[in-house]
């Protein structure tokens, strides 16, 4: 196996005063090789788009195109589906031990290339490299290992219906699945979808998000000789063209999607037309609730709680579970916010390849404009800007990057900035009187994906955790995404779960063999 691993050339840094800055992809000395053009990854090889068209991939760091990827059409989706269907039977019949071996090898090759992939993803998405190094990549790697382990424990069940009749239940792969990845965690969200699909014996056709197709292609470059041809296929291009072609295809057995609500409905509509299952994760407006007792002592826990509020700025707020509504008990509001605002003022923005940078640029101009428009509507509705509120001007060659200041708006829960996902580093903060009001505000939302509860009182934390209508309630922590903790939404945040071995069921058919061990006729005819 070792010879299949690409050697990890430890990061060449430009070092000055303990500041580490990775060299941008394509430049001399960068860890990340860059081609001018990338084709689709189909059947284990690189296949040019049928119509020969390409589109620019723009880095949000400087607003410049750094490579081109295939602008695919439905013909390319068909080629990928052909390859997946050719691979389907052999992969579906591969033993659990060998499937696990492949998943572990994917994890190993990613780990050997962790820094390279972290730099590539940071440059394409804009997220700070300290996050990709410490979170995105280690979590994605662990995800493949988790499902390698989980697949080994996949067991059917049998039931003795009566003395001579037995019901055997087997897991069988669905076949070929379609998976549509969001732009906010290009590699981790790909891992969340690909790992369980493969573990359950399926082949996949993956459509990366339009703003971030290249990171996944860099991942695909590592798969030669590790994953059988056709088991993982990646097709890049516009959602309206190839996302639709994939989601409507009668040749997929399931569709997985992460994105916004309208496309979520459309995906389910397409799935209904083909009578196939779908999983949709559609975002949230997660409350992060701070009870007065967090300030009972000036200690490490209080420090953790302050950081917990500021995690709204993690990945520049481009997280489905961004804790974008802070609910603070009114008796501590002034003192607690004073500490938080002082810490927010320390956040550094700049080159995401600098390991000291805390917030990089938003992924696209569209996202940046959307954030600006939300701050505007927030002000019109009477919200008070406590900090930030403007695009951030970053010098040093990043003048054209899509930066926005970490922002806090104070208002009330009926305002649009409290009800809609802004997908930027914008926190909406309000106060509550008591436990009942905290729960009422927390649940006054169309969404129910994540929530945070901060208190030193375990009983209160438990009551709140069970009372909040959301799929994940972080208790005295936030933004942890370990494999093995189920993730998914209540209400309009979506249908289905990810990140847990129950996914093996979601990516499997149930085969029942109902067997009679009796020789006696039934006696009806």
Partner 1 sequence: MTGPLEPPGVDATSAALAAIAQLVSEGGPIMFFQSGGCCDGSLPMCFRDGEFKVADRDVLLGVVGGAPFYIDHRQYEVWKNTRLELDVGAGEPEGFSLPAGRDHHFIVRSSVCEVRSPL
- Interacting residues with partner 1 (CB under 8 A): 55, 182-184, 209-211, 238-240, 243-244, 258-266, 269, 281-284, 320, 364-367, 369-370, 373-374, 377, 380-381, 416, 419-423, 446-447, 492-493
- Nearest to partner 1 of 68, 258 (CB atom): 258
Catalytic status, residue 340: no
The backbone torsions φ and ψ at residue 108, rounded to the nearest 5 degrees and listed phi first, read -65, -45
| Residue 11: CB minimum distance to partner 1, A | 30
| Residue 402: CB minimum distance to partner 1, A | 11
- Nearest to partner 1 of 217, 282 (CB atom): 282
| Residue 15: CB minimum distance to partner 1, A | 36
- Nearest to partner 1 of 151, 210 (CB atom): 210
Q: Residue 305: which H helix or E strand, with range?
A: helix 300-310
- In our burial notation (b when 16+ CB lie closer than 10 A, e otherwise), range 486-519 reads ebbbbbbbbbbbbbbbebbebbbeeeeeeeeeee
| Residue 422: CB minimum distance to partner 1, A | 8
| Residue 415: CB minimum distance to partner 1, A | 9
- Nearest to partner 1 of 50, 446 (CB atom): 446
- Nearest to partner 1 of 186, 308 (CB atom): 186
Which residue out of 124, 131, 221, 281 is catalytically annotated? 281
Nearest to residue 177, comparing CAs of 243, 247, 86? 247
- Nearest to partner 1 of 374, 398 (CB atom): 374
User: Is residue 411 a contact partner of residue 417, using CB atoms and an 8 Å limit?
Assistant: yes
User: Is residue 267 a contact partner of residue 278, using CB atoms and an 8 Å limit?
Assistant: yes
* Per-residue tokens: 460: 């209160």
Which residue out of 320, 322, 340, 498 is catalytically annotated? 320
- In our burial notation (b when 16+ CB lie closer than 10 A, e otherwise), range 414-446 reads ebebbebbbbbbbbbbbbbeebeebbebbbebe
Q: In degrees, to the nearest 5, what angle opens at C-alpha 447 toward C-alphas 444 and 451?
A: 80
Nearest to residue 239, comparing CAs of 124, 125, 65, 71? 71
| Residue 124: CB minimum distance to partner 1, A | 14
Q: d(Cα 237, Cα 71) in Å, to the nearest integer?
A: 4
Q: d(Cα 153, Cα 373) in Å, to the nearest integer?
A: 49
- Nearest to partner 1 of 229, 420 (CB atom): 420
| Residue 476: CB minimum distance to partner 1, A | 26
| Residue 209: CB minimum distance to partner 1, A | 7
Q: d(Cα 10, Cα 7) in Å, to the nearest integer?
A: 9
Beta strands 426-432; 325-329: pairing state: parallel
Q: d(Cα 119, Cα 55) in Å, to the nearest integer?
A: 22
- Nearest to partner 1 of 117, 282 (CB atom): 282
Q: d(Cα 406, Cα 344) in Å, to the nearest integer?
A: 7
Q: Which residue has the tokens 């691979």?
A: 87
Catalytic status, residue 300: no
Q: d(Cα 151, Cα 173) in Å, to the nearest integer?
A: 12
Q: d(Cα 248, Cα 266) in Å, to the nearest integer?
A: 10
* Residues marked as catalytic: 281, 320
């Amino acid at each position: 196996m070792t010879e299949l691993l690409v050697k990890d050339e430890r990061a060449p840094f430009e070092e000055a005063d303990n500041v580490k800055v990775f060299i941008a992809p394509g430049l001399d000395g960068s860890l990340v090789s860059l081609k001018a053009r990338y084709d689709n990854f189909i059947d284990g090889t690189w296949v040019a788009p049928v119509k020969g068209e390409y589109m620019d991939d723009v880095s949000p760091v400087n607003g410049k195109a750094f490579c081109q990827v295939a602008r695919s059409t439905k013909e390319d989706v068909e080629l990928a589906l052909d390859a997946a269907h050719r691979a389907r039977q052999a992969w579906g019949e591969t033993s659990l031990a060998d499937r696990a071996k492949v998943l572990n090898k994917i994890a190993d090759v990613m780990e050997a290339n962790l820094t390279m992939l972290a730099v590539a993803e940071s440059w394409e998405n804009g997220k700070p490299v300290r996050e990709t190094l410490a979170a995105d990549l280690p979590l994605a790697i662990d995800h493949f290992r988790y499902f390698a382990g989980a697949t080994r424990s996949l067991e059917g069940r049998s039931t003795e219906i009566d003395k001579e009749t037995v019901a055997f239940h087997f897991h069988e792969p669905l076949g070929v699945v379609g998976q549509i990845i969001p732009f906010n965690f290009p590699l981790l969200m790909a891992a969340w979808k690909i790992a369980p699909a493969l573990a359950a014996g399926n082949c996949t056709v993956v459509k990366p998000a339009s703003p971030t197709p290249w990171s996944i292609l860099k991942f695909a470059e590592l798969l030669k000789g590790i994953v059988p041809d056709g088991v993982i296929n990646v097709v890049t291009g516009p959602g309206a063209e190839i996302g639709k072609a994939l989601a409507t295809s009668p040749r997929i057995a399931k569709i997985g999607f992460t994105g916004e609500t309208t496309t979520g409905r459309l995906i389910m509509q397409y799935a209904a037309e083909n009578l196939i299952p779908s999983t949709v994760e559609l975002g949230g407006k997660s409350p992060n609730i701070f009870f007065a007792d967090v300030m009972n002592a000036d200690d490490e826990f209080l420090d953790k709680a302050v950081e917990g509020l500021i995690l709204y700025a993690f990945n520049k707020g481009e997280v489905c579970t961004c804790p974008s509504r802070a609910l603070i008990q009114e008796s501590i509001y002034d003192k607690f916010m004073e500490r938080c605002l002082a810490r927010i003022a320390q956040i550094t923005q700049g080159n995401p390849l600098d390991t000291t940078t805390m917030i990089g640029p938003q992924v696209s101009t569209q996202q940046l404009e959307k954030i600006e428009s939300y701050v505007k509507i927030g002000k019109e509705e009477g919200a008070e800007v406590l900090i930030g509120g403007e695009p951030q001007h970053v010098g040093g060659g990043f003048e054209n990057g899509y930066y926005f200041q970490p922002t806090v708006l104070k208002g009330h829960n009926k305002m649009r900035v409290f009800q809609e996902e802004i997908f930027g580093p914008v926190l909406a903060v309000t106060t509550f009187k008591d436990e009942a009001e905290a729960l009422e505000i927390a649940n006054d939302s169309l969404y129910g994906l994540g929530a945070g509860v901060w208190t030193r009182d375990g009983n209160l934390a438990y009551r709140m955790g069970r009372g909040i209508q959301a799929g994940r309630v972080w208790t005295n922590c936030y933004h942890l995404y370990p494999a093995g903790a189920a993730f998914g939404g209540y209400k309009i945040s979506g249908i289905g779960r990810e990140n847990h071995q129950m996914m093996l069921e979601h990516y499997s058919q149930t085969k029942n063999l109902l067997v009679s061990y009796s020789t006696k006729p039934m006696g009806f005819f």
